[in-house]
């Protein structure tokens, strides 16, 4: 989500027949809040668009954030509330439930993070669009893969969304279901009409190996300790581009980009040199720099934890 997308996405939320009434007047503050959080490590938002003949139509958004443990526990405890207006109210009047960048780094280096899907939506005519839904789920997974997750929460807008979540390993909580329920049967249609929480916890995942949710909770401790500046470069490089294009994107000099590559290679070689090892036939091609870059990016695609906010000092204190 870019800043120019926020207004259109909020309007879609406000006009949604289910979500708009849940927010009530709180939706008027949503645009300002999302703009403030746009570049936060705790905030993730995607936008769906349909483009044809040079025209672009915004279809809606998917938003999620890292929240405090107190807020996560509170919304999963009776009396249940609609999460959207509760987030707005707490953000405006405090204490804010959204983690700061420093808190994200701390939690990801210690006991883990709680994700809350911020109530948002796509236009009603696109809610059952299979390709859009699958693409959104894939992007959500990629955004949070590599974080140390301990809790994932959401509120379903309609019964289809609720069924998908439960089939993925989540449990349903409401005033009528004080413990996690995964067998709502015919009640799924009415279950979304009252305040509720659908969630997956680390403990639940341990009892349900092989579910979609269990993949999200998979975690490996990072080894390399890349500083934030190198993480930004490497994250951008995973999207493609020359060093010059990376320099322009990151708004730094080309020489700074080259120095960071060298620093990243030295860091890898000092910790696990095998990642950048070459076979003799590779050494013969005269382009070892490009090969090293490719090998590093292949490693990072399989180890996204290396590019998430963390502190090696804190991680080293935590028992494996």
Looking at the structure, tell me whether residues 31 and 79 fall in a common domain.
Answer: yes
220 CB neighbour count, 10 Å cutoff: 12
Looking at the structure, tell me whether residues 82 and 38 fall in a common domain.
Answer: yes
Please check the confidence at residue 195 and state whether its pLDDT lies above 70: yes
Domain boundary among 170, 187, 217: 217
Q: Specify whether the CB–CB gap between 105 and 315 falls below 8 A.
A: no
229 CB neighbour count, 10 Å cutoff: 14
Looking at the structure, tell me whether residues 208 and 249 fall in a common domain.
Answer: no
Tokens of 279: 């076979």
Looking at the structure, tell me whether residues 84 and 153 fall in a common domain.
Answer: yes
Looking at the structure, tell me whether residues 204 and 244 fall in a common domain.
Answer: no
Looking at the structure, tell me whether residues 85 and 234 fall in a common domain.
Answer: no
Looking at the structure, tell me whether residues 250 and 133 fall in a common domain.
Answer: no
Give the whole-angstrom CA distance, residue 8 versus residue 14: 10
Q: What secondary structure letter does DSSP report for 299?
A: H
228 CB neighbour count, 10 Å cutoff: 12
> Which residue range(s) make up the domain with 140?
3-217
**CATH code for the domain in which residue 84 is found:** 3.40.630
Residue 310 covered by a domain: no
Number of structural domains the chain divides into: 2
Residues above pLDDT 70, as percent of the chain: 95
Residue 166 covered by a domain: yes
Residue 158 covered by a domain: yes
Looking at the structure, tell me whether residues 284 and 147 fall in a common domain.
Answer: no
Residue 157 covered by a domain: yes
Looking at the structure, tell me whether residues 201 and 248 fall in a common domain.
Answer: no
pLDDT per residue over 94-114, tens digit each?
A: 999 999 999 999 999 999 999
pLDDT per residue over 246-262, tens digit each?
A: 999 999 999 999 999 99
**Closest listed residue to residue 227, CA positions, set 138, 306, 304, 296:** 306
The DSSP annotation for 197-238 comes to EEEEEHHHHHTSTTSHHHHHH------S---HHHHHHHHHHT
Residue 223 covered by a domain: no
Looking at the structure, tell me whether residues 274 and 245 fall in a common domain.
Answer: yes
pLDDT per residue over 35-91, tens digit each?
A: 999 999 999 999 999 988 778 899 999 999 999 999 999 999 999 999 999 999 999
Residue 318 covered by a domain: no
How much is the pTM?
A: 0.89
How far is residue 107 from each of residues 218, 258, 316, measured CA to CA in Å? 16, 32, 14
Give the whole-angstrom CA distance, residue 230 versus residue 265: 11
């Amino acid at each position: 989500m870019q800043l120019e997308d926020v207004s259109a996405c909020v309007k879609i939320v406000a006009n949604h027949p289910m979500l708009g009434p849940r927010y009530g007047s709180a939706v008027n503050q949503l645009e300002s809040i999302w703009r403030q959080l746009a570049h936060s490590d705790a905030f993730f938002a995607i936008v769906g668009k349909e483009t044809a003949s040079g025209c672009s139509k915004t279809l809606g958004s998917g938003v999620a954030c890292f929240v405090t443990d107190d807020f996560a526990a509170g919304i999963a405890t009776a009396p249940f509330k609609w999460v959207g207006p509760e987030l707005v109210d707490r953000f405006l009047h405090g204490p804010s439930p959204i983690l700061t960048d420093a808190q994200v780094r701390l939690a990801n280096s210690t006991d883990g993070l709680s994700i809350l899907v911020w109530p948002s939506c796509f236009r009603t005519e696109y809610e059952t669009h299979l390709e859009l839904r699958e693409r959104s789920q894939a992007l959500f997974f990629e955004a949070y893969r590599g974080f140390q997750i301990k809790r994932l929460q959401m509120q379903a807008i309609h019964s289809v969304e609720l069924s998908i979540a439960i089939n993925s390993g989540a449990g349903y909580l409401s005033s009528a279901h004080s413990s996690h329920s995964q067998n709502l049967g015919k009640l799924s249609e009415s279950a979304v009409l009252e305040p509720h929480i659908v969630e997956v916890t680390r403990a639940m995942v341990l009892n349900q190996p092989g579910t979609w949710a269990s993949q999200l909770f998979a975690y490996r401790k990072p080894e390399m300790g890349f500083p934030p500046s190198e993480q930004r470069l490497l994250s951008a490089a995973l999207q493609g581009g020359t060093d010059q294009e990376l320099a322009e994107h990151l708004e730094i000099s080309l020489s700074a980009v080259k120095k960071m590559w060298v620093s990243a290679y030295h860091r890898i070689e000092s910790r696990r040199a095998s990642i950048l090892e070459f076979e003799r036939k590779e050494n013969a091609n005269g382009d070892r720099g490009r090969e090293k870059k490719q090998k590093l990016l292949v490693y990072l695609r399989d180890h996204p934890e290396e590019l998430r906010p963390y502190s090696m000092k804190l991680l080293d204190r935590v028992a494996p």
